[in-house]
Structure formats: C-alpha cells, structure tokens
C-alpha cells in the first residue's frame, strides 16, 4: 500500500498555489518532486522548503516526462496543479489559439498524468488530486476557454475513478475547485481583468468577493484531502475550508 504523503509530485510548483502546496507537503515530511518549465524559478523553491524538494524542469503536458517521473520516483500522490494564464478578453476578441490555451496546458496535462497514473499504474493506496476552478460553476466570460477546460478536468477525474475501480487499482481521484485568489499568477491577472470590466479598482473588486482563501489554505486543503482515506470526489475550497460537491 502506498502512503500518499510519503512521495508527491506537484506540477506548477514554482509559483502561486503549487509553491504553497509543495512547501506544505515538505513541512509535513513528504518528499516532493516539483515540476515547472522555468528551471531557475523552480530551483529557487528548493531553497525554501529544504532538501526534500526535487525540482524537475519540464513541460507538464509531456507524456514522456510524466511516465519517467512516475517510474523513477513512484509517487503516492500527484497534485496536478499547473495551469496557463488565460488571455483576458471577451469572446469576440479571442482567437482560437488564445481561447484554447487552458485546454492545451491545464486540461492536457491533467489528461496526460491521469492516463499515466492508470497505465503505469500508480501503487494501490495512491491518489491523484487535480486542480479545477470555481469558474466552472459560473463561467469565465473574459478568460476564453478557461472554465470549459477546468470542467473537462472534472470529467477526466470521473472517468479515471471509474476505470480505476473497474481494474481494482485502488487509486483515488479528487478534484478541487478553488476561488479567484489575489497574489497568485493566474488570480492576479483574472482579478485585474474582471475588475476593469466592472469599472472598479482591484481592491474594491477583491473586497466584494471576501472571504477569499489564501494559497496557504489551498495547500492545507490538499494535505487534508491526501490524508483522508474517505475523501469525497470533489470539493470547493473556501476560506472556511473544504466543501464537498454533491
């Protein structure tokens, strides 16, 4: 049986939620393999949490990278958090390339690692946590295909959980839906765009959405879910903690 909190892979570990998740896991004794494309930024994360952070620079949509990392490190936990910054514009000012950006990065990398988790497969008792978004519940009218790509991640989770059960793999799949969060890469860009659209400054926009969780609360939620053998399949993350989705 694999312990999800022994060795974990965190994609998008160099900034925002991913960096906080890597730090929280390392702090509780988990060996973390952190993935992002910018090697310098990723290496700087290792200075913070300490020796049990292994940076692996690469594109998380790369199938070979996913397969190699799983084979080499045998993680009990995959946190599929990497995501592209959406092109902020209304639909008629998007191109197909900008509209599909989060499909090419977020949804594709969750597909890639989920597929690898089932095909390798991960050891019994393992867990895959994928980052969707609260945007799937209300849409993302200024962020192109962002909400639809994040909705695809919920479907991928469900399909994978069913296949794992059919094959008796004992791998759990959980999806998390955090809120738009100031101080993160994607959250900051989204807040700037939606505040401008409403004709208010960013502080006023953020004030109107309080209470908002912090990246550290997202990280705490990931650790909580990974430690809970009876976790629900999907949760919203709120400032008050995890809320299961029916």
Ligand X SMILES: NC(=O)c1ccc[n+]([C@@H]2O[C@H](COP(=O)([O-])OP(=O)(O)OC[C@H]3O[C@@H](n4cnc5c(N)ncnc54)[C@H](OP(=O)(O)O)[C@@H]3O)[C@@H](O)[C@H]2O)c1
Q: Which stretches of the chain bind ligand X, using CB under 6 A?
A: 11-18, 35-38, 41, 59-61, 81-85, 105-106, 131, 133-134, 178, 180-181, 184-187, 190
3-state secondary structure of 246: coil
- As measured in angstroms, the least distance from the Cβ of 168 to ligand X is 30
Q: Helix, strand or coil for residue 129?
A: strand
DSSP state of 121: T
Q: How far is the CB of 136 from ligand X (least distance, A)?
A: 9
CB of 145 to ligand X, least distance (A): 12
> At residue 71, what are phi and psi to the nearest 5 degrees?
-65, -40
| Cβ nearer to ligand X, comparing 169 with 176 | 176
CA distance 166 to 198: 48
Integer Cα distance of 14 and 51 in angstroms:
16
Q: Which is nearer to ligand X, 109 or 172 (CB)?
A: 109
CB of 113 to ligand X, least distance (A): 11
Q: Which is nearer to ligand X, 105 or 169 (CB)?
A: 105
Q: How far is the CB of 110 from ligand X (least distance, A)?
A: 9
CB 138 within 8 A of CB 197: no
CA proximity to 81, closest of 51, 134, 36, 138: 36
Would you say 22 or 160 has its CB closer to ligand X?
22
Q: Which is nearer to ligand X, 169 or 180 (CB)?
A: 180
């Amino acid at each position: 049986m694999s312990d999800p909190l022994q060795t974990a892979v965190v994609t998008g570990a160099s900034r925002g939620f991913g960096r906080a998740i890597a730090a929280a896991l390392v702090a509780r004794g988990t060996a973390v393999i952190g993935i992002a494309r910018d090697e310098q930024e990723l290496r700087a994360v290792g200075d913070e949490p300490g020796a049990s952070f292994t940076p692996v620079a690469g594109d998380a949509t790369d199938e070979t990278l996913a397969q190699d990392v799983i084979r080499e490190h045998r993680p009990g936990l995959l946190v599929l958090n990497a995501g592209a910054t959406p092109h902020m514009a209304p639909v008629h000012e998007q191109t197909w390339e900008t509209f599909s950006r989060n499909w090419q990065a977020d949804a594709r990398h969750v597909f890639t690692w989920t597929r690898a988790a089932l095909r390798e497969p991960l050891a019994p008792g393992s867990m895959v946590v994928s980052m969707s978004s609260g945007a799937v519940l209300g849409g993302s009218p200024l962020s192109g295909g962002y909400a639809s790509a994040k909705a695809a991640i919920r479907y991928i989770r469900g399909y994978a959980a069913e296949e794992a059960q059919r094959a008796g793999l004992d791998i759990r799949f959980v999806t998390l839906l955090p809120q738009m969060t100031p101080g993160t890469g994607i959250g900051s860009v989204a807040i700037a765009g939606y505040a401008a659209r409403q004709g208010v400054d960013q502080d006023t926009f953020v004030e109107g959405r309080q209470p908002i969780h912090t990246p550290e609360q997202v990280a705490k939620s990931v650790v909580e879910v990974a430690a809970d053998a009876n976790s629900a399949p999907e949760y919203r993350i709120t400032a008050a903690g995890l809320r299961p989705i029916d």
